Amino acid sequence: MVKHLYTGAVNERQLQILRELGESGSVTATAEALMMTPSAVSQQLRLLQRSIPVALTERDGRRLVLTDAGQALAGVAIEVETALARARHTVEEFVGRPDAGVSVAAFPSAAAAFFPLLLLGLDGPGHPRLSLADEDVAQDRFPRLTRDYDLVLAHRLDQAPPWPATLTAGTLLREPLDVALPAGHPLAAKRRLTPRDVAGQPWITVHDGFPLLAIVDAIAAAANRRLDIVHRINEFTVAAEAVAAGGGLALMPRWTARPHPALVLRPLSGVHARRHIDVLHRPERAARRAVRMVLAALRGAAETIRSRDGGAGSGAYVR
C-alpha cells in the first residue's frame, strides 16, 4: 500500500518558511528574512510536520537542514509562489484595465435615457466594454441584481426606506413625476394640478410592487376618495400611448420618459411626487478602474438628462 506524502492541509506561509529554511539553514535567519519571530517559525514548522508523514528537517551539526522530502516540498513552494505572483499580477492588470468589460442593468425608462449617453460617451479604444441590459423588477428585487451586474440603476420614492447597507448606493437623479394627460383635456389648461383635480379621472398605473403605486395611493388619500384604476401598465411609452388615446391619466417621469406629441405633463401639488434614480453596486466592484469610469459617465449622463429641463424646478410648466 502506497502512503501519500500529504495527509493534511499545507498553507502558503508554511511553504515559504520551508523554502527559506532550506536556503538559510537557520530558524533565526528564516525568521529575520520573513519578519517573524523564531518561535513563530518553529511553531509553523511543527504544524507543517504534523501534516506530512515523513521528516522534513534534520540536524546537521548546529544547522537545521531539509531532508529529501523537505527539499521536494520546498521545490513545490517555488512553484506555488510563482503561480501566486502570476495570479496577483493578473488581478492587478484586470483591476487597472480601463477597457475591461462592465455590465450595467437598468429599469426600462432609465435604460432608455442613460444607455444611449453611455454608449456615445464611452465609445472607442481605451474605454470600458459595456454590456447593457434592461430589468423591469419590483423595487425589493433591485439589490439582488447586483450579484449579476457590476452596476444597477434602480428607482425608489423619496419616502421609501434606503437600500441595504451592504451595497454602495448613489443618487443620479431626483426626478419629478408629473401627471400626463391628453393635450385637449380640460385639466391641461391648468399650470398645476391638485389631488382633487385628478381624483375623479380614470387612471393608468403600474403593477403591485412598483414604486409609483405609492404616489397614486397618496393622491387618493389627499383627495379622500378612491381612484378609478382602469389599466395596469409598467412601460411608460405604452402608458403614454394609452393616455393619448383617452385611456386615463398617468404619472410620468419628467426627464427620462420620451416626450409624446399628443400629451402634456402637469406638476402635481399636495403630494410628494418624486423618485430617486440610484446606482447600486457591491463595494468590491468599484475596485476596478473600468467600473469607476462607467460610474463617472453615469453621473455625467445624469447632468445631461437633468439639463434638458432647462434648469426648471419641480413647478415647471412642461410638455
Predicted local distance difference test score (pLDDT) of residue 267: 96
Is 5 a member of any domain?
Answer: no
Same domain, 51 and 120: no
Task: Phi first, then psi: give them for residue 136, nearest 5 degrees.
Answer: -100, 90
pTM of the predicted model as reported, rounded to 2 decimal places: 0.69
Both 211 and 270 in a single domain?
Answer: yes
The whole-number pLDDT of residue 318 equals 37
Whether the per-residue pLDDT at 86 is higher than 50: the answer is yes
User: Does residue 181 lie within any of the structural domains?
Assistant: yes
Same domain, 189 and 269: yes
Residue 231 CA to its chain's centroid (Å): 32
Domain-embedded: residue 314: no
**Mean pLDDT lowest among 10-19, 137-146, 179-188:** 10-19
Same domain, 164 and 267: yes
Kindly tell me if the per-residue pLDDT of 126 is higher than 70: yes
- What's the mean pLDDT in 204-233? 91
β-strand pairing of 151-157 with 274-281: antiparallel
Position 89 scores a pLDDT of 66
Q: In whole angstroms, what is the distance from residue 62 CA to residue 51 CA?
A: 25
Predicted pLDDT at 293: 94
- Bigger pLDDT: 177 vs 81: 177
- 106 shares a domain with 91: no
User: Tens of pLDDT along 256-277?
Assistant: 988 899 999 999 999 989 999 9
Looking at residue 61, which CATH number applies to its domain? 1.10.10.10
- Kindly tell me if the per-residue pLDDT of 315 is higher than 50: no
Listed residues 39, 63, 96: the one ending a domain: 96
The answer to whether residues 136 and 270 belong to one domain is yes
Q: Which of 96, 127, 152 marks a domain boundary?
A: 96
pLDDT for res 7: 45
Q: How many CB atoms lie within 10 A of CB 15?
A: 20
Instruction: Kindly state whether residues 84 and 151 are assigned to the same domain.
Output: no
Is 1 inside a domain boundary? no
By C-alpha distance, which of 119, 29, 22 is closest to 72?
A: 22
pLDDT of residue 14: 87
- For residue 311, pLDDT beyond 50: no
SS3 sequence of 119-162:
HHHCCCCCCCEEEEEECCCCHHHHHHHCCCCCEEEEEEECCCCC
pLDDT band at 93 (very low <50, low <70, confident <90, very high): low
DSSP 193: B
Averaged over 151-179, what is the pLDDT?
93
Q: Which residue has the higher pLDDT, 315 or 70?
A: 70
Distance CA(286)–CA(28), nearest Å, equals 42
Please give the pLDDT value at position 226: 92
Mean model confidence pLDDT for the chain: 87
Please state, for a pLDDT cut of 90, what percent of the chain lies above it.
55
Mean pLDDT of 172-185: 95
Q: 44-62 pLDDT, tens per residue?
A: 889 888 888 889 888 888 7
- Same domain? For 116 and 215 the reply is yes
Exposure string for 104-113, b = 16+ CB within 10 A, e = fewer: bbbbbbbbbb
Number of separate domains in the chain: 2
Q: Flag whether pLDDT at 35 surpasses 70.
A: yes
Lowest mean pLDDT among 5-19, 71-85, 94-108, 216-230: 5-19
Q: Tell me if 19 is assigned to some domain.
A: yes
Residue in 297, 275, 256 with CA at minimum distance from that of residue 151: 297
Please state the rounded mean pLDDT for residues 130-159: 93
Please provide residue 146's backbone torsions phi and psi, each rounded to the nearest 5 degrees. Answer: -70, -10
Residues 26 and 116 in one domain: no
pLDDT for the residue numbered 92: 64
Residue 242 reports pLDDT greater than 80: yes
Mean pLDDT, rounded, for 104-121:
96
- Angle among Cα 8, 10, 15 to the nearest 5 degrees reads 150
Which residues are CB-contacts of 244 (< 8 A; sequence separation ≥ 6)?
182, 260, 262, 263
On whether both 146 and 18 belong to a single domain, the answer is no
Range of the domain at 22: 12-96
Q: Which of these three, 51, 75, 96, is where a domain ends? A: 96
